Amino acid sequence: MDLFTKAYTYDTAKKAKQGGFYPYFHELSSKQDVLVEMEGHEVIMIGSNNYLGLTTHPEVIKASMEATEKYGTGVSGSRFLNGTLDLHLELEKDLAKFLGKEDATIFSTGYQSNLGFISAIAGRNDLIFSDKENHASIYDGIKLSYAEMIRYNHNDMDDLEKKLAAADPKKGKLIVTDGVFSMGGDLCKLPELVKLAKKYGARLMVDDAHGLGVMGKTGRGTAEHFDLMNEVDIVMGTFSKSLASSGGFIAGEKDVIEYIRHHSRPYIFNAAIPPSNTAAAHAALKVLMREPERVENLRKVSNYVREGLKSRGLKIRESITPIIPIFTYTPIRTMVACNTLFKNGVYVNPVVPPATAHGECLIRTSYMATHPKELLDKAMDTIVKVLNELPSEEEILKWKLQ
């Protein structure tokens, strides 16, 4: 059998394109901002993770350009060898200080941060307890570690405790959770997780990709929100969201971080984050530390939209984050809704299986601290109009396939 047969026979995307409800890979031709240029027309961007709106901040852009002028476009090697810049070390120092940890180290992407830490710290004789709605990078890190994965029901602390209680006490144990779950926008139950980790001798890791710059009074993340910054063993974060760049990091005890630097294959065998990305993330971090009011602005924007959508009669998944999902239930209705919104000047993200459970498909909207109310009102009015006029799945299929 030809290995490529699966590729030649794959027609799901082709059918969606032919049916006019393929919602992916829209071409962006402007900065990532509250208004963007996509495929020749202007749309309101409420599908970005640029939570603090810093991708267009003059200081962040300037830092990125100056770093390229000074260091060139790349490092041409891994951190382990010739790829460590003074920029990397300065950013790591400030990240650790910001999060109240002894040390931090940065990876080329957020995905690799999870992959690199989990695969290095755990092995065949260890157990990893993972929330069922954790990010894919966590699951892939567990696979690479060869540790035994024990999944617990989403945010179900009773289920987690039963599984911790039944575990071999002689094995190393790691509990891993998203801080802010990326699709639903809900928070992990950190106080309960801390208690269970202590009770059963487990270590606790929080993926705060969507929590950094978003949660807590000063944007230090989920642990700050719950006043538990000293109780989380490992904090993971990304630069591609609030910090307006690309890359990721882990922060924790110095000995643990040093171990990762010498044992993580995705860290050792991957080229280091480029100078421009490093400088941009560092500049964004400095803006966040200097202007914590951006976090409060983001909270106000999110609350404004949450109340606005509910007052307009839409059913949303409740949260306190800038990720606000709107239920559309089936894949085809979700994709058609997203495409129709795009044509009407609003960009949102479709969430369908396996990213969500069957029957719980949704439109994922996400907001920036810099969104003005007039754009938000326009976006909400458009969403309501499109969803109220959206036909059933049967009607869509009949119409599209005629």
Q: Respond yes or no: is residue 241 known to be catalytic.
A: yes
What is the Cα–Cα distance from 154 to 377, expressed in whole angstroms? 33
Give the residue carrying structure tokens 């971090």.
285
Beta-sheet pairing, 248-252 with 323-329: unpaired
In the set 182, 264, 276, 366, the catalytic residue is 182
In the set 241, 242, 264, 371, the catalytic residue is 241
* 301, 379 contact by CB (below 8 A): no
Give the orientation angle of helix 190-199 with respect to helix 157-165, to 10 degrees: 10
Give the residue carrying structure tokens 């929590």.
211
Which tokens is 146 given?
Answer: 């060869």
Closest CA to 186 of 325, 383, 359: 325
In the set 57, 210, 225, 371, the catalytic residue is 210
For residue 215, what is the DSSP state? S
Q: Respond yes or no: is residue 182 known to be catalytic.
A: yes
What is the Cα–Cα distance from 179 to 175, expressed in whole angstroms? 12
- Burial annotation 15-44 (CB, 10 A radius, 16+ → b, else e): ebeebebbbeeeeeeeebbbebebeeeebb
- Coil/strand/helix, residue 252: strand
* 244, 54 contact by CB (below 8 A): yes
What is the Cα–Cα distance from 170 to 238, expressed in whole angstroms? 33
Q: Respond yes or no: is residue 130 known to be catalytic.
A: no
Please list the active-site residues. 182, 210, 241
